[in-house]
Amino acid sequence: MKPTHLVGLALHSIRRNVGRSILTMLGVVIGVASVVVMVAIGMGAQAEIQARIDNLGTNMIIVTPGTSSRGGVSGGAGSMNRLTVDDAELLRREGQLLSAVTPVIFTRTRILQGGMNWFTTIYGVDTTYEQIRTWPVDSGRWFTAEELRSNRKVCLLGATVAGNLFPEGDPVGQSVRLRDVPFTVVGVLKAKGQTPEGSDQDDVILAPYTTVQTRLSGRQFIAQILASTWGKDDVPAAMEEVKVLMRESHDLSRGEDDDFEVKDQSQLGEAARGTTQVMTMLLSAIASVSLVVGGIGIMNIMLVSVTERTREIGIRRALGARRGDVLAQFLVESVVLSGLGGLVGAVLGVVITAVVGQVTGWATAVTTSSLALALAFSGGVGVFFGWYPARRAAALDVIDALRYQ
Amino acid sequence: MGTPVIELRQVRRDYAVGEAVVHALRGVDLRIEQGEMVAIMGTSGSGKSTLMNTLGCLDRPSSGTYRLDGVEVQGLDDDARADLRNQKLGFVFQGFNLLPRTTALENVLLPMLYDRRGRFSDPHARALRALERVGLGERTHHVPSELSGGQQQRVAIARALVTDPALLLADEPTGNLDTHTTVEVMALFQELNAQGITIVIVTHEDEVAVYCKRAITLRDGLIERDVAVQGRRAAEDLGAWDRTGHRPQVDHLPEGRPPGEPS
Ligand SMILES: Nc1ncnc2c1ncn2[C@@H]1O[C@H](COP(=O)(O)OP(=O)(O)O)[C@@H](O)[C@H]1O
Ligand SMILES: [Mg+2]
């Protein structure tokens, strides 16, 4: 029998029992719809995290102080804080693959401003920070290299800080007191949103690292060095280069472990990404269970159908159908039933996803590949759960089947 | 005479029933030529159905040989027998055995769906012609439940002859029909036989057998009697019946010679 005949036959038989067919399909419809929705929510979360990672900066490499085992004593991460401005200087001078480098110093502080009280973090950075983090100003301007060199008390406010300290009016040109030191606000940064882990990047004040070191923190060590490469493809090689330069700068002999860590931007979101991946897989697995339950429903109805149609099978065999023809007929019927359910389920899944996205505001992403996968899966369910009933149909004896009442 | 349509030699069929063995056919020899119209008769349990299943390639003899239209049937596997049924046989059953909720046309198309040799260039037109041939050209899109018993049996006959089979096998084709319809169906069989189709009808009714050209009676798995029958015309009986309002007297079958003796 031709495949078109088989599909026509399946549709005919499904139409002969519309109500029952719809109820049978329902299991697969729900299964496929829930897989589509769950995957869409998971993929949406992953896409959002990817967007946040991309938003962190451009081809960024991060150097942080690492665990050291000098003298056989292993300290915790960062216990030997040995990053210095000199390290950053060396990377800037020698790093062939690096387009920009900045040291980063953190210090937490309370700000008092016209009765407003705000606790935030001050980042002491170089002017290159703007390029490395892709973080221009929204109003005012970035501080200049000259201001950096001469330890000027200037700063940039993150959008959250600006909004809180200056609910109305432009902060640019105003003065804020950071640890009793008056700083002039030269600019307000563009809002950047959340980190992959979900903390607010705009709750920050940026100032020249020179000023922060001399006026606020007074410490010699720095928290991070950020660098960016010329191109995206340079990142792996540049990380190697940074490691070599850092070992040189720290005077590490062979056999000694690194006392610093070098990561690239994508690694920053790894934990968050891992979590959402696990979540997506878990949700899809739970949803798949309902697809399997739908498949069992199909098997059940197909078995009933084979019994009901024993006589039909006998007639077909008498008229010249081979066992293989009967097998194909019932298998195709089960696949068509399940596939139709999958199709309806996919459409329903897209609709539900849109509604969920609207109502909750979650990022969702229905991808063609997830739809294709859901459809293929429902077809597979049809084959898997249709096989046994189809085998039963094909195994019937012609004479018994013809005589069946 | 050319190749016989049916040639059985010492066909036996034993059924194992628990410990015992039932001999349903005990060495049947039978030859049916092209163009014959044969009734197979016998009491219940005499082996009619077993013989019918054998002739229809639905069952295999325990021993003996069967040639259908020149093809050796014993030794063929399941698929080959399915193909042979499709190519050489047309079945008409007592219970009509039409697919429910399926139109007359689709029912008649059915055997052509299983053709593997590409014998039919326009199955649709063929099916329509077959339905016209049995006088149902107007009812092609009716489903069985919308047709009378006689009409359903006509659809089944159309389905059996649509593939131009070498042999039309009918198992109690009038068993579910009233007498008038029975004669109508027999008139149709006679008409088809006159056009050259070989027909074998299993029946236990004399009034069916009288319209055949030959009657074979089975008893305990053997052919007990094999007689030529006076060709009574079913169409004429119908005409007389419709004219007079009562059914023409149907005579009994003649006592025949035992099988194997020259006529
Ligand atoms: N499938 C079977 N299993 C066992 N015995 C059978 C089977 N089919 C037929 N028989 C036996 O074979 C004999 C002939 O039966 P059958 O061919 O049906 O005769 P008929 O059709 O003339 O009534 C009977 O004794 C019957 O009981
Ligand atoms: Mg019988």
Number of domains composing chain B:
1
Residue A222 to residues A63, A75, A85, A218, A257, Cα–Cα distance (Å): 10, 18, 7, 11, 20
How large is the average pLDDT for residues B198-224?
93
Alpha carbons within 13 angstroms on the beta-carbon side of residue B144 total 17
Question: Distance, in angstroms, between A327 CA and closest chain B CA?
Answer: 13
pLDDT in tens, chain A (405 residues): 778 888 988 998 888 888 999 999 999 999 999 989 988 988 888 888 888 888 777 788 899 888 654 444 444 444 456 788 889 999 999 888 899 999 999 888 888 777 777 889 999 999 999 999 989 999 999 999 999 999 999 999 999 999 888 888 889 999 888 888 899 999 999 998 888 777 888 999 999 999 998 888 777 678 899 999 988 888 889 999 999 999 888 888 888 888 888 988 877 777 777 888 888 888 888 888 888 888 999 999 999 999 999 999 999 999 999 999 999 999 999 999 999 999 999 999 999 999 999 998 888 888 888 888 888 989 999 999 999 999 999 999 999 999 887
What pLDDT score was predicted for residue B204? 85
Among B59, B85, B99, whose Cβ lies nearest the Cβ of A320? B85
Q: Say whether pLDDT at B214 is over 50.
A: yes
Integer Cα distance of A22 and A382 in angstroms: 15
Alpha carbons within 13 angstroms on the beta-carbon side of residue B244 total 10
Is A311 an interface residue toward B (CB < 8 Å)?
yes
Question: Distance, in angstroms, between A384 CA and closest chain B CA?
Answer: 25
Integer Cα distance of A258 and A279 in angstroms: 34
Q: Say whether pLDDT at B5 is over 60.
A: yes
Residue B33 to residues A14, B27, B38, B46, B167, Cα–Cα distance (Å): 45, 20, 10, 23, 10
Residue B42 Cβ inside 6 Å of ligand 1? The answer reads yes
Q: Say whether pLDDT at B261 is over 60.
A: no
What pLDDT score was predicted for residue A72? 44
Distance B36 CA to ligand 2 centre (A): 22
Q: Is residue B17 part of a domain?
A: no
Range with the lowest mean pLDDT among A32-46, A286-300, B116-130, B239-253?
B239-253
Distance B49 CA to ligand 2 centre (A): 4
> How many other CB atoms are found less than 10 A from the CB of residue A386?
24
**To which residue do tokens 């038989």 refer?**
A13
What pLDDT score was predicted for residue B207? 87
Integer Cα distance of B144 and B102 in angstroms: 7
Burial B118-155 (b: 16+ CB within 10 A, else e): eebeebeebbbebbebbbbeebbebebeebeebbbbbb
Q: Would you list the DSSP string of A206-220?
A: EEEHHHIIIIII--S
Interface test with B, best of A4, A7, A319, A329 (most B CBs within 10 A): A319
Residue B15 Cβ inside 6 Å of ligand 1? The answer reads yes
What pLDDT score was predicted for residue B257? 54
Q: Say whether pLDDT at B1 is over 70.
A: no
Query: DSSP code of B25?
Result: E
Q: Name every residue whose Cβ is closer than 8 Å to that of residue A156 and which is 6 or more positions away in sequence.
A: A137, A140, A142, A143, A185, A186, A187, A188, A189, A205, A206, A207
What pLDDT score was predicted for residue B245? 86
Distance from the Cα of residue B20 to its chain's centroid: 31
Residue B50 Cβ inside 6 Å of ligand 1? The answer reads yes
Residues forming beta bridges with residue B223, ordered by sequence position: B218
Distance B249 CA to ligand 2 centre (A): 27
CB contact under 8 Å between A319 and B114, yes or no, is yes
Among A314, A319, A399, whose Cβ lies nearest the Cβ of B111? A319
Residue B230 Cβ inside 6 Å of ligand 1? The answer reads no
Integer Cα distance of B128 and A172 in angstroms: 91
Is A309 an interface residue toward B (CB < 8 Å)?
no
Ligand 1 atom, smallest distance to B46 CA:
22
Residue B176 phi/psi, 5° resolution?
A: -105, 15
- Greatest C-alpha distance within chain A: 104
Q: Is residue B86 part of a domain?
A: yes
B142-175: pLDDT as tens digits: 999 999 999 999 999 999 999 999 999 999 999 8
Alpha carbons within 13 angstroms on the beta-carbon side of residue B218 total 28
CATH number at residue B128: 3.40.50.300
What pLDDT score was predicted for residue A193? 86
Distance B14 CA to ligand 1 centre (A): 9
Q: Which range of residues forms the domain containing residue B143?
A: 34-61+75-244
What pLDDT score was predicted for residue A67? 64
How large is the average pLDDT for residues B98-119?
93
What pLDDT score was predicted for residue B131? 95
How large is the average pLDDT for residues B113-134?
93
How large is the average pLDDT for residues B181-192?
93
Distance B74 CA to ligand 2 centre (A): 22
Residues forming beta bridges with residue B32, ordered by sequence position: B6
A86-103: pLDDT as tens digits: 899 999 998 888 999 999
Pairing of strands B167-171, B89-92: parallel
Integer Cα distance of B160 and A251 in angstroms: 98
Burial status of residue A262 (CB atoms within 10 A of its CB: 0-12, 13-18, 19 or more): buried
Residue B48 Cβ inside 6 Å of ligand 1? The answer reads yes
User: Closest residue of B to A402, CA-based?
Assistant: B97
Per CB-CB distance under 8 Å, the chain B contacts of A311 are 97
A321-337: pLDDT as tens digits: 999 999 999 999 999 99
> Do A272 and A196 meet the contact criterion of CB atoms below 8 Å apart?
yes
Considering only CA atoms, which of B84, B98, B120 is closest in space to residue B5?
B84
Q: Would you list the DSSP string of A122-133?
A: EEEE-TTHHHHT
Integer Cα distance of A159 and B36 in angstroms: 102
Integer Cα distance of A16 and A255 in angstroms: 78
Phi-psi region of A198 (alpha: psi -120 to 50; beta: other; left: phi over 0): left
A1-46: pLDDT as tens digits: 778 888 988 998 888 888 999 999 999 999 999 989 988 988 888 8
pTM more than 0.80: no
**To which residue do tokens 């800037």 refer?**
A92
User: Closest residue of A to B90, CA-based?
Assistant: A319
